[in-house]
Structure 1
């Protein structure tokens, strides 16, 4: 039963996010409340997926997501037990139409990925091993606002963070390692899409 729940962990996050949607827009604060103030990995996953999906077309969303993930990572490194976000972020609104479109777009890839996820290399999800990937993700977020000028690069960086968060959420250390390998490839991908041709 536990394995079945673990296999549905990512879809469950999308389900909870979708169930929080109402009216024409939704505040970041409502998303946090729906996912839980202790759900660092789930919140990191949701916001990075938003920046990966078609919802990333919302102006400035990559920079906002980078700031949110940066704040979450700093708190995880500090060992904080519950999420805190500044009010200028929690009061920010997102279009529910674009958000639902992004959730729908993510369903198929999430269902596909879930089939391969399982608890493994779980020691990597604990200190001191976890500190290295957290520091690397934090470094990546510092460059994400600059990536908005290069098409698709912000989405690539967000996808790396989403994979890392998915690894934390499903206790799959192999996925965490995979996300770090992809992180090292981000500069090359940004160069290719931004400056080649």
Structure 2
């Protein structure tokens, strides 16, 4: 394991916490803080927010699905800088709820970081990245519908966060694990939520 990667995910949380100033924070503020080239970090942070208790906010899962979908589409297209439409960047989140969500996910993130490091790095490059990216794009199309099935949106977001963590830390093994989950989660959600 590469020691310099150990706190990569916590560093992203720290940056978001630093940006949470005042009563609310816009999506645009988050993008500015994390950087317009930080596709993996932005995907990680928004998917983690959707796995935290903050996901109970009505419409949050759908908003995260739109953001992640746009990020993934741009990654597939090969864009170098993040672009989000104004109606997304202007959306506000209450900083109190956001900070509570960050506090809730910080311990699990710190635990996961112990197992992350550079390995199987060839999976972090094209063309190998296209398959998980396409699967995530497909998953985001269904995430707004998942709001009617308790916890399903959070599970989908957790899988996306796992992929983003692997990409951010250049851990191909984690990306491979997320790929397996990306193939099984939609089937499981459909089976237990609609067919069951």
Query: Normalising by the residue count of structure 2, what TM-score does the alignment of the two structures yield?
Result: 0.96
Q: Secondary structure at the match of 2:93?
A: strand
* Rounded Cα–Cα distance in structure 2 between residues aligned with 1:150 and 1:15: 31
Find out whether 1:43 has 2:42 as its counterpart: yes
Q: Secondary structure at the match of 2:13?
A: helix
Partner of 2:155: 156
Partner of 2:66: 67
Partner of 2:76: 77
Relative distance call for 1:148 and 1:39 in structure 2 (3 A) is same
The 5 A counterparts of 1:74-153 are 74-153=73-152
Contact 2:139 2:186 in 1 (8 A): no
* Rounded Cα–Cα distance in structure 2 between residues aligned with 1:100 and 1:38: 24
How many matched pairs?
196
Partner of 2:180: 181
Q: Secondary structure at the match of 1:174?
A: helix
Shift of 1:48: 0.3
Query: Normalising by the residue count of structure 1, what TM-score does the alignment of the two structures yield?
Result: 0.95
The 5 A counterparts of 1:7-46 are 7-46=6-45
Contact 2:40 2:165 in 1 (8 A): yes
Partner of 1:4: 3
Runs of 4+ in 1 over 4 A off after TM superposition: none
Give the superposed CA RMSD.
1.5
Shift of 1:97: 1.0
